Amino acid sequence: MPARRDVDVADLINRARHADPRAVARLISFVESDSPLLREVAAGLSGTPAQAHVIGLTGSPGVGKSTTTNALVSALRARGDRVGVLAVDPSSPFSGGALLGDRIRMSEHSSDDGVFIRSMATRGQLGGLAAAVPQALRVLDAAGCDTILVETVGVGQAEIEVASLADTTLLVLAPGLGDGIQAAKAGVVEIADVYVVNKADRGGAEQVTRDLRQVQSMSAGRHVGWKAPILKTSAASGDGIDAVIEAISAHRAWLGSSGELEARRRRRAATEIEAIALGAVRQRFAAVVGSAVLDKAASSVVDGTTDPFEAAEALIRAL
Amino acid sequence: MPARRDVDVADLINRARHADPRAVARLISFVESDSPLLREVAAGLSGTPAQAHVIGLTGSPGVGKSTTTNALVSALRARGDRVGVLAVDPSSPFSGGALLGDRIRMSEHSSDDGVFIRSMATRGQLGGLAAAVPQALRVLDAAGCDTILVETVGVGQAEIEVASLADTTLLVLAPGLGDGIQAAKAGVVEIADVYVVNKADRGGAEQVTRDLRQVQSMSAGRHVGWKAPILKTSAASGDGIDAVIEAISAHRAWLGSSGELEARRRRRAATEIEAIALGAVRQRFAAVVGSAVLDKAASSVVDGTTDPFEAAEALIRAL
């Protein structure tokens, strides 16, 4: 990474605002990697409220998430949106890899200058993905994206966290994977605003739909006033994608009219602020590891002269 | 949970020191569940350095970990040790369940008053398992355990953290599960002090041994001066368990003579102090969620008047 003086952040942000894909890529790599430029980028990107509609896509491997993303990008482009795609792997400390491989397969969009595709992971970013993803969203927002698709891999707590950063969350399922129950277990069903039952041309889609309805009837739902629709697609052929786009638009309209959009974005910002603050504190702790202060405290806990809670309080006071 | 005034912590600790199993169980449930009594228990247990030799057992499901634990308990009892068994599930917020089911199967030890068997998980304990496990170890130590076996489930970061709390870490593997490679991926191989290839009466044990040797030759090893032995067992019949006990004793002797025991315990205490301190900070953050302070900060990030790093700094100052 070049030294601070070699990078003109203001110029990069200006170029990103003019939709220069290389500037966008560079800024996202800064926010992903806890670059010393991160603060400068964040300051430069603030000043205007976010415009883009952020859509989270989640679901187990094998359900056709990338194909669905691909089909959604085509449909959004057809209506004239500028589109950002952020592929996030919460389980990996490295970006690229398998995810990037999937992204490269989105070849029909890779030469479209109205589409920005980035794959990211957390490489020691202060506050982890809870902080890094909102920053990357700001970069894509600055580049004029109308819609940003955030795709995550796996089903788990980290994924739920990332999905909860979206304005609208799509849960993609497919028959034959037992995903209805798997997803319910992980608590993903509760946070979804739209269910997409993909590969609906295969047998078993009805069963997935029934399972979802049952889980839905048992849970109170994410928000009163919006009942998550269950839509069948065959993303590979594009069947059913228009209905998904319509459901997303309807959800967006509901978010705006109900005041929920503002509420969600405030929650997202609160989570982000908390994550950054906690990250900063953790960094200060990390700085004392191996230091005389912690070493002395540890020795006194080992020999029994201090209890660990006393020692922890002393450590907090020392920071 | 009874109110604080109903519990005489000093009396409980006194009874635990006289090896009363009910007092031990009660104290462990306090340290597991972030009871308001936790601090009092911790203070009451300090005053003397730890005596027990702590052995961590780790390995994928299906390798026969519980059977190995069972066989080790028998062998340790035969040499006159008082033994504690702590079954930890880092992936579950609940104790009991499958793990407890396994423990109950250790029926030959359940009526032995020289064996304390406890299953634990983290139920919101300040600092998670990194803080809860050392506290539970202190309780078992106070009850006069000579050896404490800490058994964890699954292979992952949380498990490595728990395993790293032990004086001696055993990695249990079995043929036919591809565990050599799985474990290597998760970084468990590097932290093991003794390898146990269980179910060695089945075909494939040689292959697991060869795989381990190869991984071992590639990694520098956890510590200079100790080369982790690879031992074959059939824990169900008890074959090879004596050699494991000997290897554990040899490792214990090496820990003492090399100064590594002291170093490991200091590191364990440092991790514990850090985890408690970080947990305390996180708790203070959690207390501001939904508060006017964070809400106002979040709103100003949403409308673009503040960047999230500025807001995070203000939050830290406010705490």
DSSP string, A257-309: HHTHHHHHHHHHHHHHHHHHHHHHHHHHHHHHTTSHHHHHHHHHHHTTSS-HH
The answer to whether A261 contacts chain B (CB < 8 Å) is no
B148-176: pLDDT as tens digits: 999 876 556 666 676 678 999 998 988 87
Cβ–Cβ under 8 Å, residues A41 and A27? yes
Does the B48-258 domain belong in CATH 3.40.50.300?
Answer: yes
Please give the Cα distance from B247 to B252 (Å, whole number): 8
* A302: chain B residues, CB-CB within 8 Å: 49-50, 262, 265-266, 269
pLDDT above 90: percentage of residues in chain B: 35
Nearest residue in chain B measured CA to CA from A261 = B302
φ/ψ of A129, rounded to 5, equals -65, -30
Give the nearest partner residue to A301 out of B39, B273, B309, using CB atoms: B273
Helix, strand, or coil here: A47? Answer: coil
Nearest residue in chain B measured CA to CA from A38 = B309
**B55 membership: H or E segment, kind and range:** strand B53-58
Give the nearest partner residue to B39 out of A48, A265, A309, using CB atoms: A309
H helices of B174-306, where? Answer: 179-186, 188-191, 205-218, 241-258, 260-288, 292-302
Average pLDDT of every residue of chain B: 82
B319 pLDDT exceeds 60? yes
B223 pLDDT exceeds 70? no
The whole-number pLDDT of residue A6 equals 75
Please give the Cα distance from B189 to B187 (Å, whole number): 6
The whole-number pLDDT of residue B220 equals 59
The whole-number pLDDT of residue A56 equals 92
CA distance A232 to chain B (A): 33
Are A289 and B308 a contacting pair at CB < 8 A?
no
The whole-number pLDDT of residue A101 equals 44
Cβ–Cβ under 8 Å, residues A25 and A136? no
* B127: chain A residues, CB-CB within 8 Å: 312
Q: Best residue in B273, B289, B303 to probe A by mutation, most A CBs within 10 Å?
A: B273
The whole-number pLDDT of residue B112 equals 83
The whole-number pLDDT of residue A4 equals 47
The whole-number pLDDT of residue B79 equals 93
The answer to whether B135 contacts chain A (CB < 8 Å) is yes
- Distances, alpha carbon A57 to alpha carbons A164, A209, A226, B173, in Å: 10, 18, 18, 37
* B278: chain A residues, CB-CB within 8 Å: 281-282, 285
The whole-number pLDDT of residue A154 equals 57
φ/ψ of A209, rounded to 5, equals -60, -45
Going by C-alpha positions, the residue among A273, A260, A145 that lies closest to residue B300 is A273
Please give the Cα distance from B80 to B108 (Å, whole number): 16
Least confident stretch, A225-239, B205-219, B226-240: B205-219
- Distances, alpha carbon B75 to alpha carbons A176, B100, B147, B253, in Å: 47, 22, 11, 18
**A103 membership: H or E segment, kind and range:** helix A97-104
How buried is A230 (Cβ within 10 angstroms: 0-12 exposed, 13-18 middle, 19+ buried)?
A: buried
Tokens matching residue B49: 């350095």
The answer to whether A43 contacts chain B (CB < 8 Å) is yes
Please give the Cα distance from B23 to B28 (Å, whole number): 9
Give chain B's length.
319
Are B307 and A45 a contacting pair at CB < 8 A?
yes
Please give the Cα distance from A267 to A117 (Å, whole number): 26
Please give the Cα distance from A49 to A262 (Å, whole number): 11
Please give the Cα distance from A255 to A50 (Å, whole number): 15
Are B298 and A43 a contacting pair at CB < 8 A?
no
Give mean pLDDT, residues B40-44: 90
Cβ–Cβ under 8 Å, residues B1 and A271? no
* A306: chain B residues, CB-CB within 8 Å: 46
Are B46 and A134 a contacting pair at CB < 8 A?
no
φ/ψ of A268, rounded to 5, equals -60, -45
Tokens matching residue A174: 């497919």
- Of A13 and B66, which is predicted with more confidence? A13
Helices (H) and strands (E) in chain A, counts: 15, 7
A255-277: pLDDT as tens digits: 999 999 999 999 889 888 888 88
| Residue B240, amino acid | G
DSSP state of A212: H
Q: What is the pLDDT along chain A (319 residues), one digit of tens a residue?
A: 444 457 899 999 999 999 999 999 899 888 877 677 888 898 999 888 889 999 999 887 788 888 899 999 999 999 999 999 988 865 554 444 445 445 545 667 777 888 998 887 655 555 667 778 888 999 999 999 999 999 876 556 666 676 678 999 998 988 877 655 555 555 667 778 999 999 999 888 898 888 888 877 776 555 578 989 999 999 989 999 999 999 999 999 999 999 999 999 998 898 888 888 888 887 887 777 667 888 889 999 998 899 998 998 888 887 7
The whole-number pLDDT of residue B62 equals 80
Give mean pLDDT, residues B192-205: 91
In this structure, is the dihedral angle defined by the CA atoms of residues B205, B206, B209 and B210, taken in order, positive or negative? negative
Please give the Cα distance from B240 to B71 (Å, whole number): 10
Q: Per 3-state DSSP, what percentage of chain A is helix, strand, and coil (rounded to 5)?
A: 55, 10, 35
Going by C-alpha positions, the residue among B49, B50, B116 that lies closest to residue B83 is B116
Count A/B contacts: CB-CB distance under 8 Å.
155
The whole-number pLDDT of residue B165 equals 82
**B110 membership: H or E segment, kind and range:** helix B107-110
Enumerate residues 163 to 202 of chain B having a beta carbon within 8 A of any beta carbon in chain A. Answer: none
φ/ψ of A32, rounded to 5, equals -80, -30
Please give the Cα distance from B46 to A303 (Å, whole number): 9
Count CA atoms within 13 Å of residue A26 on its CB side: 19
The whole-number pLDDT of residue B272 equals 87
DSSP state of B226: -
- Distances, alpha carbon A237 to alpha carbons A109, A179, A303, in Å: 16, 22, 68
Pick the most confident of A97-101, A108-112, B114-118, B177-181: B114-118
Enumerate residues 1 to 40 of chain B having a beta carbon within 8 A of any beta carbon in chain A. Answer: 38-39
Helix, strand, or coil here: A104? Answer: helix
**B104 membership: H or E segment, kind and range:** helix B97-104
Residue B92: band (very low, low, confident or very high) from pLDDT cuts 50, 70, 90: low
Nearest residue in chain B measured CA to CA from A50 = B302
Cβ–Cβ under 8 Å, residues B166 and B115? no
- State the residue for tokens 């489930």: B153
Helix, strand, or coil here: B25? Answer: helix
B76 pLDDT exceeds 90? yes
Domain boundaries, chain B: 48-258, 273-318
Cβ–Cβ under 8 Å, residues B235 and B205? no
Pick the most confident of A17-26, B91-100, B189-198: A17-26
**B131 membership: H or E segment, kind and range:** helix B128-142
Tell how strand B168-173 and strand B53-58 pair up. Answer: parallel
Please give the Cα distance from B134 to A248 (Å, whole number): 49
pLDDT above 70: percentage of residues in chain B: 80
- Of B11 and B33, which is predicted with more confidence? B11
- State the residue for tokens 């070699």: A6
Please give the Cα distance from A161 to A240 (Å, whole number): 28
* B315: chain A residues, CB-CB within 8 Å: 273-274, 277
| Residue A68, amino acid | T
B142 pLDDT exceeds 60? yes
Give the nearest partner residue to A273 out of B262, B278, B308, using CB atoms: B308
